[in-house]
């Protein structure tokens, strides 16, 4: 995603997810830090929108990708501190997200698979659909991007500053 609000300028995307974005359960994600430098709602929108754009270009089911991508991390705990007896966060949270998503909207089989399998690679849950794989890969990309963006910006500032010194 080029900017945090780029998704707002795509009317088709907005029409696919606006009912979900209006849900208090989705709005609540803004209260949880995701990858240190973003909140869970920002992360979920980024995953949803970027996955939607890729799926649309590939002539795949971009509706399901947009909606399930938005709901893939629909859980309400700090994953850095909350621990489970049943398994790791990577294993548990897709099931929690699916259960929470089913409370706010009907889901089809593909949307369920997208949510459940979005941790492919960290878990052995193999995606059944190309759409599920896209959301999983975009989720990984967005996590890295969100975590390292401030570091990249700081490095770019230092490089610019150094170049200015050498040009004088």
pLDDT at residue 164, as a whole number: 73
Q: Is residue 108 assigned to a domain?
A: yes
Overall number of domains in the chain: 1
Rounded to two decimals, the pTM is 0.83
Q: Is residue 132 assigned to a domain?
A: yes
pLDDT at residue 127, as a whole number: 95
d(CA 85, CA 92): 10
User: If the chain, 168 residues long, is cut into consecutive pieces of 10 residues, what is the mean pLDDT of each piece?
Assistant: 82 98 97 78 96 98 98 85 62 90 98 95 89 96 77 69 69
d(CA 96, CA 112): 12
Q: Is residue 49 assigned to a domain?
A: yes
Q: Is residue 1 assigned to a domain?
A: no
Q: What tokens were used for 62? A: 């971009």
pLDDT at residue 89, as a whole number: 57
CATH, residue 72 = 1.10.3210.10
pLDDT at residue 167, as a whole number: 61
pLDDT at residue 54, as a whole number: 98
Torsion, CA 72, CA 75, CA 78, CA 82, rounded to 10: -110
Q: What tokens were used for 112? A: 């369920």
pLDDT at residue 88, as a whole number: 65
pLDDT at residue 161, as a whole number: 75
Its domain, for residue 150, covers: 6-167
pLDDT at residue 17, as a whole number: 98
């Amino acid at each position: 995603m080029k900017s945090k609000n780029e998704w707002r300028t795509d009317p088709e995307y907005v029409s696919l997810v606006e009912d979900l974005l209006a849900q208090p359960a989705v709005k609540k994600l803004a209260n949880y830090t995701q990858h240190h430098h973003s909140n869970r709602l920002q992360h979920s929108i980024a995953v949803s929108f970027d996955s939607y754009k890729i799926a649309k270009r590939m002539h795949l089911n971009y509706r399901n990708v947009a909606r399930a991508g938005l709901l893939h991390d629909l859980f309400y705990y700090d994953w850095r501190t909350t621990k489970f007896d049943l398994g790791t966060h990577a294993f548990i949270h897709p099931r929690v997200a699916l259960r929470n998503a089913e409370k706010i909207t009907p889901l089809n089989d593909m949307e369920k698979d997208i949510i459940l399998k979005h941790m492919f690679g960290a878990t052995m849950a193999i995606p059944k659909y190309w759409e599920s794989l896209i959301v999983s890969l975009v989720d990984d990309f967005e996590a890295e991007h969100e975590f390292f963006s401030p570091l990249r910006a700081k490095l770019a500032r230092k490089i610019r500053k150094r170049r200015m010194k050498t040009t004088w």
